[in-house]
Amino acid sequence: MNKKMKMFIICAVFALIISCKNYATSKDLEGVVQDLESSEQNVKKTEQEIKKQVEGFLEILETKDLNKLDTKEIEKRIQELKEKIEKLEAKKTSLKTYSEYEEKLKQIKEKLKDKKELEDKLKGLEDSLKKKKEDRKKALEDAKKKFEEFKGQVGSATGVTTGHRAGNQGSIGAQAWQCAKCLGLGVSYSSS
């Protein structure tokens, strides 16, 4: 009876330790997910601010006579837009967002055909946007190669037991998760 009681206590202690370890791991994972969501929200806020500025700029151009319009004000707005676009993280901002900005820049360019000095400023803004878009494309291509490597590593992960193999695959998955997080990609996972 005494031996059975000792075995029961030992098993209970091990079960408690394992559950604490799993609890801590899930809490860490929740923290990482929350960090990812907050960084995504910050990027979206910045994108929305830029969209509002571009739309406001378009409204000004539509409502006012271009000959009477103050070029200093337009230059200032173009410079502000350029600075905001340059502050965007090229690795995290989506290509769709960059495409929307390009469309709006084309609209602005159409309205400012007669103003040569403003076209030069607009050209600088357009070049900045193109550079950011190319950086994002390059980052996504590099990420695609990395994820293919991760996929190969997961397939060839070895271990003495199935548990060791799963642990090795999990560490590769964690690396892939960090890589995706750095790129601002939305990663969904299943806990079941």
Average pLDDT score over the chain = 72
- Residue 92 sits in the same domain as residue 170: no
Beta carbons of 91 and 60 less than 8 angstroms apart: no
- Residue 105 sits in the same domain as residue 23: yes
- Residue 163 sits in the same domain as residue 114: no
The predicted-structure confidence for 30-43, as pLDDT tens digits, reads as follows 666 666 666 667 66
Domain of residue 174 covers 140-183
The predicted-structure confidence for 70-82, as pLDDT tens digits, reads as follows 666 667 777 777 7
Q: What's the whole-number mean pLDDT along residues 75-91?
A: 73
Beta carbons of 187 and 181 less than 8 angstroms apart: yes
* Cα separation, 152 vs 28, whole angstroms: 27
* Cα separation, 185 vs 92, whole angstroms: 7
More confident call, 138 vs 26 = 138
pTM: 0.48
Total domains, the chain: 2
Q: Within a domain: residue 190?
A: no
- Residue 151 sits in the same domain as residue 124: no
DSSP label at 160? S
Q: Within a domain: residue 189?
A: no
